[in-house]
Structures are given as structure tokens and as C-alpha cells.
Amino acid sequence: MQDSEFKSEVQTLNNGSDVNPIRIDLITLQGVQNYGSVLQALATQALFEDLGAEVMVVNFVKEANRWENISRTWSHGNPVKTLVMAPTIRRWKTVFQGFNDDNLHLSKKIYTSDKDFDGYVSEADAYCTGSDQVWNSKWNNGVLPPLYLSFAPEGSYKFAFSASFGQPSLSDEEIGETKGLIEQYRHISVREESGLEILQGQYGYGGAIQTTDPTLCVTPEFWRRHSKERLKTNSYILVYCLNKSREFDDYACEVAKRTGLKLVRLCTRYDQITRPGKSVLVPDIGEFVGLIDGARYVLTDSFHATAFSMNMGTEPICIYPREFGGRLASFLRLAKSEQRRVRDYSDFDVVNRPVDFEVVTPILEGERVKARDYLVSVFDEIRSERDARL
């Protein structure tokens, strides 16, 4: 299936009942080479349109992720690494930028620095900070004011949907730098429990709620209609490892040996072909979804790979990364599936601690309702205030 077919789903979801839809400018982290990031952007856009909004995704790309800079970002100026990374970067551009161009309603202009937003003009009725690690200053190498809607006109309607700090707490310096921006939000929903604690305890921001990741706010059927068709064979373990680790790889090999299952590795770079398992090199977006759907287990340190696994009825085996593991922990607690965490690299009993999908599925359905209720309330308020001005 071609990635462009995602667009037809968005059009199908939009019931078209609002002849004068509200207009929302959405900023998130779609401009990265990461499967979860582009998929959460698509899911957010689809949800908003399903609820009667027109969406324009601000084409925000961090400096390090601009295509003219990305080779230097990954090679650190090393000419050998530059040569090694060149094929991967070309493939990334096809997979990720191609997907975004085909499926997201991106602004024509690409924005990076605060200066790029000078004179920002929009007819939006509201501005939204979307999901992913938008407020994670470690991940983003500092505070990025545009992700706090610093560019939106003074007095405009601002809200956040499933935003993530990605950390258990923030420094006093970061709170001081961003408090004035956070206070301008009319409504905030965050993805993790820790986000609520940061907002309430450190910012003194009351009334925020927790909503799940946008990729979980749409059904598994939504994703299956847009994945590369793959039967549920239960014959392989899919490895999706974002943080290189020999211990992780050795553990994966031993799990495969003990279960008698094939090891399939989803490689995000061509140079990962030497790591254990049958390599699938930088698959397109639909194949990413299909690989998760078809696996018996997904062995991963990735939040989004875990979320997709749970949504699609595939059992994850979760190894928390050294940093930003709170996202995984929060989600497994929510899904009452903390038994799927690997306690250490000698914990092979995880395969005997199954997911109870009869428990998980209603939880995820409830989270979808909660997220939609939040958005309906926000959109009704935006619509009411807009109509009062007309």
C-alpha cells in the first residue's frame, strides 16, 4: 500500500458536518527521522479533522534535523561516518519526508528558529502544541519556544494535546524560562503522569489532564487499513532498538533461542545490518506498522513500538532505556501490563507473563473516549468564542 493512501482515511474520518470548521495551527515533532513521531502527527491530524477542524501542521524542523544539516549531525564531521551515513540519509528523506509531504497538511514554509516566525501570519482560530517529546529539553537540546506556541498572536487561544516533558522533573531554571509560556495555555493535556506532577507541582498550573498518545486514540483497524499487509504469523520476534546495546542484542538472541522464534530486526540505519537478526532496512511507514502487527513479540526500548504493539494485540517485551524510560513505565501502568518489563538481562520469564488483552483493550477504548471528550470540549469552546466574535 502506498503511504499516500493514509490521506484517504483522513478524508473518510472527517464527517464534514461543520460547514464553517474551526481552524487550528498544530505544531509537533513531525520533522524527525522517527516512525512514532510521524505517525503521532498523522493520528493527531486525523483526530482533529474527525471532530470537524481544519488543520495546518506548522512545518517545524529542528536545526539538527534539517536535511542540509543532518549529515553533520550524525557524523559529527567525521568523513568516514559521513560516507557510511549517506545511503541511510537518502532513504530517510524518501521514507519520512515523503510520508509527511503526502499525508500531512504542512505549511509551505519550513520553520526552525524564533526568527523564522517573525511576522507569522495565520487565520487560525486556535493554536495547539501536539504530542511527542515537545517539551523535553534534554531531547531537544534546550527549550524550544515555538513548541510552547511563542509565535502565536498575543491573546490567541492555545491548548496542548498529549504533550510530553519526557522527564520526571524540571530544573528551576527551565521552569523560570517557560512558566510564562505555559500560563498562556487555556487547556493542557499531557501524556504521562509525571507531566501532571510537573504542571501541578512545579508550574502551579491547575486543571491539566492526562490523555494517551494520539496513535492509541485511533483503532487498530485504522492502522491495519494503512499497513503493508502482513498476516499474524506469530513466527518471529521483532526487535526495534533505539539505543545501541550489546547486552540488548545478546538478550534478543537468547530469547529467540529459548522460544524457537525467528529474530527480525527493524533497522533504522543501513549500518545496523551487522546486528543480530534478519534485517529489514529502513522500511516505509506502512511496513513499520505491518511488522509490529505480524510479530509474536516486539522486543523494544521504544515507547511508540510498545504502544502500537498493545493497540494491535502483539505482546511487547519492554526494556526501559537509561533515559526517558518514564514514558514506557507510565504506559505499562496505565495498561496494567507492568509484567511485560524485563527486570534485567537474565529475565527470560517475561514470555510467561502474558498480556491480558481482555483487560488492555477496554482500557485503551476508555482512553480514546477520554481524549475525544477533551478535544470536543476544547473545540466547542474555540467554536463558541469564534462565533461570538463574528
| Boundaries of domain holding 300 | 227-355
190 and 304 co-located in one domain? no
**What is the percent of the chain where pLDDT is above 90?**
85
Q: Examine the domain organization and report whether 152 and 195 are in the same domain.
A: yes
- The answer on 191 and 42 residing in a single domain is yes
Do residues 346 and 381 share a domain? no
Residue 225: pLDDT band (50, 70, 90) is confident
CA distances from 154 to 120, 158, 184, 185 (A): 12, 10, 9, 12
Tens of pLDDT, residue by residue over 181-204, are 999 999 999 999 999 999 999 999
- Considering the domain architecture, whether residues 14 and 141 belong to the same structural domain is answered as yes
CA distance 294 to 261: 13
Question: Looking at the predicted structure, is the pLDDT value of residue 227 above 90?
Answer: no
**Amino acid 230: pLDDT:** 61
Beta bridge partners of 318: 300, 341
Confidence of residue 279 (pLDDT cuts 50, 70, 90): very high
Indicate whether 179 and 42 sit together in one domain. yes
Query: What CATH number did the domain enclosing 183 receive?
Result: 3.40.50
pLDDT digits (tens, 9 = 90+) for 315-335: 999 999 887 778 899 899 999
Residue 360 located in a structural domain = no
Q: Are 239 and 263 in contact (CB under 8 A)?
A: yes
Instruction: Determine the residue type at 100.
Output: N
Q: What proportion of the chain, given as a percentage, has pLDDT over 70?
A: 94
Cell 527493524 belongs to which residue?
266
Q: Answer yes or no: do 159 and 194 share one domain.
A: yes
Helices 303-311 and 285-294, interaxial angle, to 10°? Answer: 60
Q: How many domains does the chain have?
A: 2
User: Per-residue pLDDT tens for 82-111?
Assistant: 999 999 999 999 999 999 999 999 999 999
List, edge to edge, every strand of the sheet that includes 297-300.
278-281, 262-267, 236-240, 297-300, 315-318
Q: Taking a C-beta distance cutoff of 8 angstroms, is the pair 208, 200 a contact?
A: yes
Q: Are residues 74 and 148 in the same domain?
A: yes
**Is residue 242 situated within a structural domain?**
yes
CA atoms within 13 A on the CB side of 83: 2
pLDDT tens digits along 34-51: 999 999 999 999 999 999
- Asked whether residue 2 carries a pLDDT value surpassing 50, the answer given is no
Judge if 36 and 178 occupy the same domain.
Answer: yes
Cell numbers standing for residue 89: 540519509
Contact present, 106 and 88 (Cβ < 8 Å):
no
This prediction has a pTM of 0.92
Q: Which residue has the higher pLDDT, 4 or 169?
A: 169
End-to-end CA distance of the chain: 44
23-33, pLDDT tens digit by residue?
Answer: 999 999 999 99
The answer to the question of residue 113 being in a domain is yes
Locus of grid cell 533497522: 267
116 and 98 fall within a common domain: yes
- Mean pLDDT, range 214-236, rounded to an integer: 84
Do 18 and 119 meet the contact criterion of CB atoms below 8 Å apart?
A: no
| Rounded CA separation 347/78 (Å) | 38
